[in-house]
Structure formats: structure tokens, C-alpha cells
Structure 1
Amino acid sequence: MGSGAQRSILVVDDDADIRETLSMILEDEGYTVACASNGREALTYLRELCARGDNPPPNLILLDLMMPVMDGAEFCLHQRQDPRLAEIPVVIVTASGQAKEHASALHAKAFIYKPLALDTLLEKVEQCCSAPRP
């Protein structure tokens, strides 16, 4: 991972098993991981994190599209409207056959199909966490 600041990821998925599995995999790779079960919970977490000011926002958000309460598309709309959150890169994680179209429409940096391929996941995460923010 190299020296430098801690890299963190927010995993947003309504499936507890997926959140737990992603957390374990990413933590094993040296990332700090936070989880949310839907878009509203993720927005609340991010806004509280920014309001406290003691930690930077995550380097990346892994976002499921189909969730109860607030889905991934609605989350992205709210995220882009908040200047404190708008620059956090998002990777769409979905079983949808139209992942590329969804990612493009939501201004996501990338997309990953479910079921997740570990090498693809780690490659996309590394690319997004290494890229400088605009």
C-alpha cells in the first residue's frame, strides 16, 4: 500500500453478508472500511463525518444500486448536490445487466458486476483510491 495517509472506503449495500465480506477483504488489503445498509444511512454517516471535521471523507464509495429506503441512484443525486461529498468517487456494484449505463448516468468512476470477482474488485478499488481527486 505504500506510505501515506490511511485509505478508507464506505460500503453501501443492503445485504449484510456482502457488507461483511467486502469489509473483511478490504481490511485485509489495508483499507479502513465503514458500512451502511442503504443510501440514507450512507448520507447520514458522510454528513456527520464531514461535520465533525476530525476525519477526511472516504477515498471511495462502493455503492449497490437496488436497496430499500434510498437506492443507489437517489444517493448519487444527493451526494452530487452536497459540495462536501460531491468529489468522493463512487463505484457501482450491481447485478444489473446495464451496469455500464447506470454508472455513466450516475457519474460513477467505475462499475463492478455481482457476483463480485475478487481480482476485479481489488483492481477497481486500487485505481480509484490512487487517482487524485479533481
Structure 2
Amino acid sequence: MSSHRVLVVEDDLEIRESVMEILEEHGYEPVGAENGLEALDRLREPGPPPCLIMLDLMLPRMDGKEFRQEQLRHPELAHIPVVVVSAFRDATQLVQGMHVAEVLRKPFKPEQLIDVARRYCPPVAPSA
């Protein structure tokens, strides 16, 4: 069975909650994590893996690059696409070698966020 779960790894609570709210409004099942270590814990929880990981680069305890390196070490997790969400102007250069699907620049519009989710996750049935 395909998952509509999206892991949102963002240390800024306001941004994380906003992203999760937008995803939820469009039928996705967002799961939040404040840093890379917490994100790894979320990935190891029972249930279907997320269809997408939205990853900030600047995180406490374990940053986005360290998280991605650890994710790629585990075959059962390595296949999950990662979209880096960053305000860095040079984010595209910063993610070189991280094998990410794409970069979404902050600030972004809700439509851009949903377009990204739709590219990597199965279609969500419209709510009645």
C-alpha cells in the first residue's frame, strides 16, 4: 500500500507547523521532526515509510547533510526521496553530492509545496 506520509524535518516550529498544516489540508499525513536525529527515529517507527522527506539544512544536533548521509547508509530508507527546503541563496551548490530530488527555496507558496508533494507521493483522493 502506498503511503501519503510526508516527513517534515524543520527546527523552526512555526515553519514546521505551517508546512504540516498545508500538507494535511491536501490529504497528506505529515509527520514532524525538529532535527536529523529525531527524523531518523521517525523513519524507524512502525508503519509505512514516508513517500517524501522535506529537509531543512540548518538543524540542531544533526544537520540536514548528516541526516542524509545516515539515511543513505540504510537500504530500507535510502529510496525515500528528499527535497531540501532552504532559504540559502546557494542551496543548489550546498546540496551537491547529497543525492536529493530537488531544492525548494524559502519562502515558498503553498501551491509550490503541494506541487512538490504531488511529484513524489501517490495521488491523494479529494476529500468529500
Whether TM exceeds 0.5 here: the answer is: yes
Question: 1:35, 1:130 → 2: CA distance?
Answer: 20
Structure 2 counterpart of 1:46: 43
| TM-score for the superposition, normalised by structure 2 | 0.89
For 1:28, which of 10, 25, 28 is the aligned residue?
25
Question: 2:37, 2:100 → 1: CA distance?
Answer: 18
More helix by share: 1
Whichever residue aligns with residue 56 of structure 2, its letter is D
- Aligned sequence identity (%): 42
Higher deviation after alignment, 97-106 or 77-86: 97-106
Question: 2:62, 2:115 → 1: CA distance?
Answer: 28
Residue 122 of structure 1 and its aligned partner are, at CA, apart by 1.2
Structure 2 counterpart of 1:74: 66
Higher deviation after alignment, 95-104 or 17-26: 95-104
Residue 116 of structure 1 and its aligned partner are, at CA, apart by 1.9
Q: Relative contact order (alpha carbons < 8 A, sep ≥ 6): 1 or 2 greater?
A: 2
Flag the 1:129–1:103 CA change in 2: closer, same or farther, 3 A. farther
Question: 1:29, 1:81 → 2: CA distance?
Answer: 32
Structure 2 counterpart of 1:57: 49
| TM-score for the superposition, normalised by structure 1 | 0.85
Residue 70 of structure 1 and its aligned partner are, at CA, apart by 0.5
For 1:90, which of 79, 82, 99 is the aligned residue?
82
Structure 2 counterpart of 1:102: 94
Cα RMSD, aligned residues only: 1.6
Question: 2:97, 2:12 → 1: CA distance?
Answer: 24
Whichever residue aligns with residue 14 of structure 1, its letter is D
Partners of 1:109 and 1:128 within 8 A in 2:
no
Partners of 2:6 and 2:28 within 8 A in 1:
yes
Segments of 5+ residues of structure 1 without an aligned counterpart are: none
Segments of 5+ residues of structure 2 without an aligned counterpart are: 124-128
Residue correspondences, number: 123
Residue 6 of structure 1 and its aligned partner are, at CA, apart by 4.3
Question: 1:103, 1:76 → 2: CA distance?
Answer: 10
